[in-house]
Amino acid sequence: FLNYLYSHKKIKKEGGILLLYFMSYSVLRFIVEFFRGDERGNFYFGLSQAQLISLVIIIISGLIFLKRQNEK
């Protein structure tokens, strides 16, 4: 997916592919944490530490990506 966006120049700003990578990795990591077999304990709202970090990365990367794409 990222290679397609890069090769077809769909993302115009530099660093856009990296921000999309951060977001997609964080989404996948968030999902994988639900299926882990070990019990790491719940921190906040029933989410693990890795899920909370993933949410923070998704939000920050998404905001930066949107801000950069809307710049002229």
User: Quick one: tokens of 9?
Assistant: 């120049």
Residue with tokens 């710049």: 71
Q: Which tokens in the block code for residue 22?
A: 């951060």
Span 3-19, pLDDT tens digits? 777 777 777 777 888 88
Rounded CA gap, 48 and 41, in Å?
A: 7
- Average pLDDT on 7-34 reads 85
User: Is residue 11 helix, strand or coil?
Assistant: coil
Distance CA 47, CA 67 (A): 28
More confident residue, 71 or 60: 60
40 close to 48: Cβ distance less than 8 angstroms: yes
What pTM did the predictor assign?
0.76
